[in-house]
Amino acid sequence: MKGKVYVAGAGAICAIGNSLPETLRAFQNKTSGIGHITSLDTVHKGVLPVGEVKLSNKDLALITKHKSVTRTALLGIHAAQEALNSSGLKDISRYRTGLISATTVGGMDLTENFFVDFSKDNSKGDLNDVVNHECGRSTELIADALNIRHYVSTINTACSSSVNSIIFGTKLIQHGMLDVVVAGGTDALTKFTLNGFNSLMILDKEPCRPFDATRNGLNLGEGAGFVVLVSQKVLEEQKLNASVIVSGFANTNDAFHQTASSPEGRGSFNAMKLALEVANLQPADIDYINLHGTGTVNNDQSEGTAVKRMFGDTLPKLSSTKSFTGHTLGACGGLEAAFSVMAIEKQCVFPNLRFTQAMPDIGIVPQTEFQSTKVNNVMSNSFGFGGNCSSIIFSKA
């Protein structure tokens, strides 16, 4: 492995903003994006709060200048375009450029419409609603919009998906296989996931309270987050202004239960430990942790225990930005990577909303205010069903 991998750009769209600068203002003003369902046609409207992106598919299609396709793809195009525009890269066609995206629902937002007619008569249902169902199709729609042909790939490891796409992108650059990678993930709100998580009884009917003793579940969100990764060579040739590198990462498996995390958080502990080793950093070097922090009883207890074991009594500043955005599933790792990069670029940390009381036995008190502070190294955690655990560290170049 040779050379550093730089983050040349980042883009985000989620419940608290249609761009990364907009999300920064929401963090500064502590404006939550969690609210009632407005667009999704579901019986849970008015009951289950969610983090919806405020733009309709029509709005998104107009902005991205892309004909209306799946919402997952439209959100992805929006954030990936912002990431690429902010990178300062003029012409990606002269480099070996790849797009590595992640999604858990793919085109499910339209497939579930198709199924209404199809389930009555399997010759019915508009085929245009299922043609983009498969996860890779959302990536290809983004690639087409960005004019990326050289390499495309898609990851689905549930809620850790988009951290894994950034890790894979970083490795492909480190191994000299690609020069530029747009990496991240996208997921739209769907009835499928809303009902899925509801059937598991882990959705809070109130706005979520990550890491709080009284937490009672997560709120689903939607969005997309992408970063633009470049090699040292591209950075120099294009005279790019990148101040953040991907310094460490790890992917492990909890191997405990299909949906529940082990009480001691063995998978998440291993992911954090290995990521620190790859980065050649000590726990005390981490200035801020962007927690997975879903707000479920199980995740926060398990992650909190692992963080305590890893960092001891001198904890870095930490918060779950899911208290603003909701849990965006396959997009959360990409979104939170964009936030982590922003924390280093703007030298700040983000608040954890609605925290009042620490979890007993663990006693972790997250950051509750937006704060300007020295931030050199940020760790971002993403864990998913199936025991998939990933940690990534971004550092000041």
Partner 1 sequence: MALFIKGMGNISAQKTWDVDALPKEVVLPSSDRFTAIEPDYSQYIDPKSIRRMSRIIKFGVSAATLALRGANVNVPDAIITGTAYGCLEDTGTFLSKMIENNEVALNPTPFIQSTHNTIGSQIALLLQCQGYNQTYAHGAFSFESVLLDALIQSEENPDRNILIGGVDEITDVSHAIQKRFEIFNQVANGEGSAFFVVNGQPTNAIASIDSVATFYKPDMTIIRDHLEESKNLQIDLVLVGSADSSQSPLLMNNVNQAFPSAAIGYFKHLCGEYPVASAFGVWLGATVLKTGKVPEGVVKTRINPPKKVLILNQYLGKHISAIMMSAC
Report, in Å, the least distance between residue 168 CB and partner 1.
7
Q: CA-CA distances (angstroms) from residue 194 to 133, 201, 203, 267, 298?
A: 17, 11, 9, 26, 19
**CB-based contact 266:254 (threshold 8 Å):** yes
Report, in Å, the least distance between residue 143 CB and partner 1.
7
Residue number, 263 or 363, with CB nearest to partner 1: 263
CA–CA–CA angle 5, 74, 131 (5° rounding): 110
What kind and span of H or E run contains 135?
Answer: helix 135-146
Residue number, 152 or 240, with CB nearest to partner 1: 152
DSSP 8-state code for residue 127: G
Residue number, 17 or 125, with CB nearest to partner 1: 125
Task: Write the DSSP assignment of 309-339 as a string of letters.
Answer: HHHTTSPPEEE-THHHH-B-GGGHHHHHHHH
Contacts with partner 1, residue ranges (CB under 8 A): 1, 42-44, 104, 106, 111-112, 115-116, 118-119, 122-123, 127, 130-131, 134-137, 139-140, 143, 149, 151-158, 164, 168, 171-172, 175, 177, 191-192, 195-196, 198-200, 251-259, 266-267, 270, 384-388
Report, in Å, the least distance between residue 118 CB and partner 1.
7
Q: Which amino acid is at 332?
A: C
Residue number, 296 or 352, with CB nearest to partner 1: 296
**Which of 225, 186, 324 is closest to 11 using CA atoms?**
225
Calpha distance 254→390 (Å, rounded): 10
Report, in Å, the least distance between residue 16 CB and partner 1.
26
Catalytic residue ranges:
159, 292, 327
